[in-house]
Amino acid sequence: MTIKELNYFLNNHFDDLVLRPPLFHLWDIGIRFDIADSSLDFFEEKNISQMYKRTLTLHKTSQ
């Protein structure tokens, strides 16, 4: 998914949603999932691969 496609999706499904830090703390109730390995550099290939796999796993188990 490209940034353009993501923006299109968000605008069509979540009108007026502003994504900004600290997004997690803006709601009264929330569940936090760590998808990145904090011991690795954020953009390190191993970390990006891990984030991708964890995100897919969370998505698949939520269906």
Domain boundaries, the chain: 3-61
pLDDT of residue 12: 92
CB 47 within 8 A of CB 62: no
- The beta strand positions in 1-63, using DSSP E, are none
Q: Which structure tokens are listed for 30?
A: 């929330």
What global pTM score does this model have?
Answer: 0.48
pLDDT means over runs of 10, the chain (63 residues): 83 81 71 83 89 90 79
pLDDT of residue 25: 72
